[in-house]
Amino acid sequence: MASHTAAAAIPSSQSTDPIEESEALLNEKEMKKRRIVRDSNLRLKILPNQWPIIYSTHYNITCMGLERCHPFDSTKWGKVFKICQEAGWLTKENTIQPMEAKTSDLLISHTSLYLKSLYIPCNVAQAVEVPIVALLFPCIIERCLLKPFRYQVGGTVTAAYFALERGWSINIGGGFHHASTNRGAGFCIYNDITISLQFLFNDTSLSKPIRKAMIVDLDAHQGNGHERDFKGDERVYIFDMFNYSIYPRDQEAKEAISKAVRLKRFTEDGEYLRELKINLKEALTEFTPDIIIYNAGTDCYEADPLGCLSISARGIKIRDEFVFRQARKNQIPIVMVTSGGYTRESAGIIADSLLNLKEKNIITLEPEFREDISDDEI
């Protein structure tokens, strides 16, 4: 029997080159991603009179009061929209309502094993850090928690395309920077930043292909999710400015950061804005991206119990203005997502910042890059 097996072995001349196998596998993965992009319904059309601002009432998370078990204001997205609406700016008609990301969309980044694990309540409870969620029926978790997150993923992908068309866009939601390909954490289930960039990298229909991207993460916490996802990927430059003494302290993920600005506890406006201006300018000198994903967390706010920084509401407004001005000055499309923020004031801070961008004509209905922007203006 042994000799028969040996005689039936494949001749060495017919064996496959390991490098060719690897390339074939890589090409298969890339083709799969391209098919996902091609078949997706997340890329929407925008009318000339519509702002490239994305929001849906589906974003808000409510579940029999259980949302109060976590310090995150899970209805802040609706509050941001309402404030801007009451200011006479945003309406349902002049903004964009995104589609919900389907499982097929999520698979451009997440593993099927991870997505299946979300049917188990204790896994979701661990990711959102609300233990009582483990006691809920999967159908309730799906409707009250996972679906809102998927709508926000759809919003970030849609925003990414609008930024290419208009020069800027804002998803009043998203920024789940602790989620990675095969895990959720820190109230983050799906890695919308990674998903949106994978869509752009693999969209062959774009008139100008997206080959390089920069993530500017100014949430108070390290963005370990997208850092794990893009570790070793030279197409992505990660600028992360965070409080190094708080969650997640992910050493492995830190290796993926292109420029890290490590902040001490209770850093105040002056030092914070000075470090941002110096280091972001350096980053844009070192790397010229085709698009910027701006993770604009407000948990750096001085009253935030988890961010442990001391940035004023005015400081956050100046921060956002500076980042947008740098993108416009360098003619780089920018996508803003709102990310973390664990105070009841967070929604108002975000809305005031957006209104400031509009009032100063930094964001306009007309797609226009301006080279006459001076840093002295802020």
- pLDDT tens digits along 305-325: 999 999 999 999 999 999 999
Residue 59: inside a domain: no
Q: What integer is the mean pLDDT of 285-301?
A: 98
Q: Please tell me the predicted confidence (pLDDT) of residue 63.
A: 78
Residues of the domain holding 268: 78-365+373-377
For 198, the token pair is: 């994978």
H/E run at residue 324: helix 313-329
Residue 218: inside a domain: yes
* pLDDT reading at 106 higher than 90: yes
CA 46 to CA 170: how far, in whole Å?
13
Residue 15: inside a domain: no
Q: Please tell me the predicted confidence (pLDDT) of residue 1.
A: 42
Mean pLDDT estimate for the chain:
92
Residue 29: inside a domain: no
pTM of structure = 0.91
* pLDDT reading at 370 higher than 60: no
Q: Please tell me the predicted confidence (pLDDT) of residue 248.
A: 98
Q: What integer is the mean pLDDT of 254-281?
A: 99
Three-state secondary structure call for residue 334: strand
Q: What integer is the mean pLDDT of 215-227?
A: 99
In tens, the pLDDT along 175-199 reads: 999 999 999 999 999 999 999 999 9
* pLDDT reading at 263 higher than 50: yes
* pLDDT reading at 376 higher than 80: no
Number of domains within the chain: 1
Residue 241: inside a domain: yes
Residue 35: inside a domain: no
Triad 269, 272, 278: Cα angle to 5°: 130
**Closest Cα partner for 45 from 179, 172, 147, 158?**
158
Please report, for the domain that includes residue 240, its CATH number: 3.40.800.20
Q: What integer is the mean pLDDT of 153-162?
A: 99
Q: What integer is the mean pLDDT of 78-93?
A: 98
Q: Between these two residues, 20 and 91, which has the higher pLDDT value?
A: 91
pLDDT cut 90: percent of the chain above it: 85
Q: Between these two residues, 68 and 234, which has the higher pLDDT value?
A: 234
Residues in a beta bridge with 241: 261
Residue 31: inside a domain: no
Burial of 336 by CB count in 10 Å (0-12 exposed, 13-18 middle, 19+ buried)?
buried
Which residue type is seen at 216? V
CA 16 to CA 1: how far, in whole Å?
26
In tens, the pLDDT along 47-74 reads: 999 999 999 999 999 876 665 665 668 8
H/E run at residue 85: helix 76-86
In tens, the pLDDT along 86-97 reads: 999 999 999 999
Q: Please tell me the predicted confidence (pLDDT) of residue 344.
A: 92
Q: List, by residue number, the catalytic residues.
A: 178
Q: Using 50, 70 and 90 to split pLDDT, how confident is the model at 8?
A: very low
Residue 24: inside a domain: no
Q: Is the dihedral of CA 294, 182, 184, 256 positive or negative?
A: negative
- For residue 129, the tally of other CB atoms under 10 A from its CB is 16
Which residue type is seen at 313? A
Q: What integer is the mean pLDDT of 234-246?
A: 99
